[in-house]
């Protein structure tokens, strides 16, 4: 790991949130699993939901796109509905909102601590005057950042709420990383992006970032490189002096 680039040499560094700054992925995985196991049982859907479904259909995507993708894999089709559908509604949006209720309950009851190595890197970049931003597909980004106590470190948060308002396409499309760079006033060709999801690494690469850092939290270093990461680490502490 002696050949890692110096992240402070880039104009800006844009961080994914879930799985990069905070171990939210575990909370999300647990919430998705609980929700889909109940739904599959109630509707008699097979084969059963597994952890593989999470990485294949849900990880890094906008909530409703993930629901639609997973249901499609089981040949189940329901109406799309509307984002303000009640969580009891049997629509893509209603089912997505149902999962969100489970997630919010877990987050509130258990809280969340940022990864120490990620926090150390963010603080080091800030001390060196490098602008940092959050680029997340999640509509819970503000809530997660607040629960982790790190919201005030980021001038820009490009999240699922902003993306929906501005009609930006979901990762792996480049839109959200381009939008985050624009909000920060940074040129992607002189900036770095940090991602743990395949769709996210592909998004940052498609957006033309000079450096895409993959953080391997389980999806695999080779898969992250294939998706677009230039370098892959297990922990962002590797970039801290």
Which residues touch 197 (CB under 8 Å, ≥6 apart)? 16, 19, 59, 60, 171, 219
Which residues touch 141 (CB under 8 Å, ≥6 apart)? 17, 134, 157, 159, 160, 161
Residue 16 sits in the site that holds Mg ion (CB under 5 A)? yes
Residue 216 sits in the site that holds Mg ion (CB under 5 A)? no
Instruction: Pick the binder of Mg ion from 21, 29, 186, 197 (CB under 5 A).
Output: 197
Q: Active site residue: 3, 6, 11, 18, which one?
A: 18
Residue 13 sits in the site that holds Mg ion (CB under 5 A)? no
Residue 27 sits in the site that holds Mg ion (CB under 5 A)? no
The residue (of 39 and 199) whose beta carbon lies closer to Mg ion is 199
Site string for Mg ion, 117-156 (x = CB under 5 A): ----------------------------------------
Q: Is 41 exposed, middle or buried (0-12, 13-18, 19+ CB in 10 A)?
A: exposed
Smallest distance, Å, CB 81 to Mg ion? 25
Residue showing the smallest CB distance to Mg ion in the complex: 19
Rounded alpha-carbon distances, angstroms, from residue 161 to 184, 210, 232: 17, 26, 29
Residue 58 sits in the site that holds Mg ion (CB under 5 A)? no
**Cα–Cα distance measured from residue 176 to residue 168, given in angstroms and rounded to the nearest whole number:** 6
- Our answer to whether residue 18 is catalytic in this structure is yes
Under 8 Å between Cβ of 206 and 172 = yes
| Site residues (vs Mg ion, CB under 5 A) | 16, 18-19, 196-197
Residues with a catalytic annotation lie at 16, 18
């Amino acid at each position: 790991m002696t050949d890692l680039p110096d992240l402070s040499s880039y104009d800006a560094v844009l961080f994914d949130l879930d799985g990069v700054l905070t171990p939210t992925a575990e909370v999300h995985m647990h919430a998705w699993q609980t929700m889909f196991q109940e739904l599959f049982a109630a509707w008699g859907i097979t084969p059963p939901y597994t952890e593989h479904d999470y990485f294949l259909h849900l990880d890094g995507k906008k909530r409703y796109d993930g629901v639609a993708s997973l249901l499609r894999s089981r040949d189940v089709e329901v109406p799309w509905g509307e984002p303000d559908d009640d969580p009891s509604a049997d629509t893509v949006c209603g089912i997505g909102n149902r999962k969100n209720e489970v997630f919010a309950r877990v987050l509130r009851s258990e809280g969340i601590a940022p990864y120490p190595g990620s926090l150390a890197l963010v603080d080091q970049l800030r001390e060196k005057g490098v602008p940092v931003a959050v680029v997340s597909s999640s509509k819970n980004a503000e809530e997660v950042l607040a629960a982790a106590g790190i919201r005030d470190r980021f001038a820009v948060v490009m999240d699922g709420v902003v993306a929906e308002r501005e009609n930006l396409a979901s990762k792996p499309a480049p839109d959200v990383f381009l939008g985050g760079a624009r909000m920060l006033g940074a040129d992607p060709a002189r900036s770095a992006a940090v991602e743990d999801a395949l769709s996210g690494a592909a998004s940052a690469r498609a957006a033309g970032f000079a450096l895409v850092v993959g953080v391997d939290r389980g999806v695999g270093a080779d898969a992250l490189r294939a998706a677009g990461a230039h370098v892959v680490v297990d922990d962002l502490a590797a970039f801290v002096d």
